[in-house]
Amino acid sequence: MFDFDLFVIGAGSGGVRAARTSAGYGARVAIAEDRYMGGTCVNVGCVPKKLYTYAAHFSQDCSDSRGFGWTGEVPAFNWHVLRDNKSAEIERLNGIYDNLLSNSGVTVFNARAKIAGKNTVAVDGKTVTARYILIATGGWPFVPDFPGSDMVLTSNEIFDLPEFPERILVVGGGYIALEFAGIFAGLGASTTLSYRGEIPLKNFDKDIREKLFTESQRHISMRMNSNVSEIRKGDDGIVVAFEEGDPLTVDCVLYATGRNANTRELGLEKTRVKTGKNGAISVDEFFETDEPGIYAIGDVVGRAALTPVATAEGMVLASNLFKGTRKTLDYANIATAVFSHPNVGTVGLSEEGARDKYGAIVVYESEFRHLKHTLSGNPERTYMKIITDKATDRVIGMHMVGADAGEIIQGFSAAMQCGVTKAQLDSTIGIHPTAAEEFVTMRTARDG
Residues that bind ligand NDP (CB under 6 A): 144, 172-177, 179, 196-197, 202, 256-259, 305-306, 336-339
What Å distances lie between residue 192 and 10, 51, 143, 145, 259, CA to CA?
35, 22, 18, 21, 21
Could you tell me which of 230, 198, 212, 188 has the C-alpha nearest to residue 74? 188
Tell the smallest beta-carbon distance from residue 53 to ligand NDP (Å).
Answer: 10
- List residues with catalytic annotation: 432
CA distance 224 to 237: 23
Nearer to ligand NDP, 109 or 175 (CB): 175
- With contact defined as beta carbons under 8 Å apart, do 272 and 280 qualify? no
For 223, phi then psi, to 5°, come to -110, 95
CA–CA distance, 130 with 221 (Å, rounded to integer): 53
Q: Are strands 4-9 and 126-135 parallel, antiparallel or unpaired?
A: parallel
Compare residues 6 and 338 and give the one whose CB is closer to ligand NDP.
Answer: 338
**120 near 127, Cβ under 8 Å?**
yes
Shortest Å, Cβ 258 to ligand NDP? 4
Residue number with CB closer to ligand NDP (202 or 357): 202
Nearer to ligand NDP, 10 or 173 (CB): 173
Q: Edge-to-edge strand order for the sheet containing 167-171?
A: 221-223, 190-194, 167-171, 252-255
Closest approach, Cβ 177 to ligand NDP, in A, equals 6
Question: What is the phi/psi pair of residue 200, to 5°?
Answer: -65, 175
CB 190 within 8 A of CB 166: yes
Q: 98 or 210, CB closer to ligand NDP?
A: 210
Q: Which is nearer to ligand NDP, 27 or 90 (CB)?
A: 90
